[in-house]
Structure 1
Amino acid sequence: MSHPRDARERTVWYRSQFSSWMIPVGVVLAIALIVIAAVDASYRAVSLVLLLAAAAFLVTGGIKVTVSSLGVTVASALVPFLRRTIPHERIVHASARWTRPMEIGGWGYRWKPGLRAVSVREGDALWLELARGTNFVITVDDAQTAAELVNQYLPGSGKGR
């Protein structure tokens, strides 16, 4: 038996995705650089600057992706205040497809002309076609479900709003 859904009820899709190598590399790199900085003062400045590379691996090695009535949000799993939300009003269409990191510029947060991406691995990816003519890509499991929900929330779909 089905029950009518409350008009205020909204569907939310949520996934976390972690790189199998980015976080371990970031941890090892950070530890090594801290040890070098502590042991040899002549390398201290360089080591501390290179810690930014370790931080980049750690910050982008794990992500949380949410599709809700507010839009699509991708956030760092380690530093959740580092996030990007794309409201549905800025999305023309969503789709899912198998994506290789080199196709979208590499691993981590990438930007190139006409494309922004958050890539933690090869595989399923959510592709958002934005109103300004660019694409935003997020590699995440079950991207097809996310794309279907995004398309339901788009203005003019008659659903989700």
Structure 2
Amino acid sequence: MTITDRAVRRFVLVAVWLPIVLVVGGVAVQLALLPQVPSTVAVHRNAAGEADGFLPAWTQPLMTVAFGLGIPLLIVLTTLPGLRRGERGATYRLMGATAAATSALTTTAFTLTFAMQAGLDRASEAPAVWGALAVSIATSAAAGAAAWFLQPRQHAAHGAVAPAKPLSLRAGERAVWARAASMNTGAAIAIVAAVLAIGVAAVVAWVTGAYPLLAGLFGGITLVLLAFAATTLAFHVRVDDTGLHVDSLLGFPRLHVPLTDVASAASVDVNPMGEFGGWGLRRSTGRRFGIVLRAGEAIEVGRRSGKRFVVTVDDAVTGAALLEAFVARAASRP
């Protein structure tokens, strides 16, 4: 078995099969305990640990399935296609571990808090859940660590650099190159779907009185995804005699590499997950910072400080060549 086959199979093992096993086991325990718990169970506690939110007992197994498998499914849908295409990087390994850890956290929390209510006459008598939450967090950490080490090491290979050949510019001639850079359709759909899914989960968690830890987690993730979508789905990219300009359609963020700071410009091929750990405004190894909206061609600017700035955009060869031409003309001036 090649390293590629092993990486895909181990990811599926920890991100798909492990959550399935965890959820099936947790739901089986809950169904076995269903006759022993009150018809209405406590699903929320106040700051003092006292039960103050209740739902029918049969909803607990459903929530375990929804949260224990739903989040890992989102991770798999956005990560597995890249692995199958041959993309590699530590981020893929981390995403597999995150899927396992999240499933372990939610499944253990739901199952333990459900089991604590077996034999009670009334749900209002449910004990505090701090111990159960501590066990859930420990279980999540153990599952995440195990999933990390079960997967093989992955090293992302940076795309081959194609040094730009400067365009021919006469003295005093003006030129501008501009393109719109947008996230690819698949990634944009995945982001919107993730925002909607996590948003619905957050609303359900708050409305049904789910545990504050989960409700707050989903709410926070929703806000982060909304901010991410609003500021990183599309950019204007421009090269002129002042340097490279990259501006979000919303006007923020705005990035500018002055011509005086450009040491070199090249066209490169970018693998978002493998090289930058995902899409959007990202940092990578080798002092690289990028606006990474899709896989494929990008302009990479080497700055005089040694840092490198990357932006994915169509016709990157022309953009890089014009930038090199401006640098060469500026260097030839007395």
Sort the TM-score into its range (normalised by shorter chain). Answer: 0.7 to 0.9
Identify, as 1 or 2, the structure richer in strand: 1
TM-score by length of 1: 0.79
Between the two structures, name the one with larger relative contact order (CA 8 Å, sep ≥ 6): 1
Separation (CA, whole Å) in 2 of partners of 1:130 and 1:59 = 25
The secondary structure found in structure 2 opposite 1:32 is: helix
Output the amino acid matched with 1:13: W
The secondary structure found in structure 1 opposite 2:175 is: coil
Identify, as 1 or 2, the structure richer in helix: 2
* Percent of aligned pairs with the same amino acid: 29
Identify if the C-alpha distance between structure 1 residues 115 and 21 changes in structure 2 by more than 3 Å, giving closer, same or farther: same
1:73 aligns with 2:245: yes
Corresponding residue for residue 88 of structure 1: 259
Cα deviation, residue 126, structure 1:
0.6
The secondary structure found in structure 1 opposite 2:185 is: coil
Corresponding residue for residue 34 of structure 1: 199
CA-atom RMSD in angstroms: 2.5
Larger radius of gyration: 2
1:109 aligns with 2:286: no
Cα deviation, residue 30, structure 1:
2.2
- Please give the per-residue CA displacement for 1:97-134, whole angstroms capped at 9, x wherever unaligned: 32322234442221134111111222111111110012
Unpaired runs of 5+ residues, structure 2, are 1-169
1:60–1:76 Cα contact (<8 Å) kept: yes
Q: Which runs of 4+ in 1 moved over 4 A?
A: none
Identify if the C-alpha distance between structure 1 residues 103 and 26 changes in structure 2 by more than 3 Å, giving closer, same or farther: closer
Corresponding residue for residue 126 of structure 1: 299
1:23–1:61 Cα contact (<8 Å) kept: yes
Separation (CA, whole Å) in 1 of partners of 2:332 and 2:233 = 34
2:247–2:253 Cα contact (<8 Å) kept: yes
- Please give the per-residue CA displacement for 1:2-48, whole angstroms capped at 9, x wherever unaligned: xxx994x6321111122222322222222233333334314543232
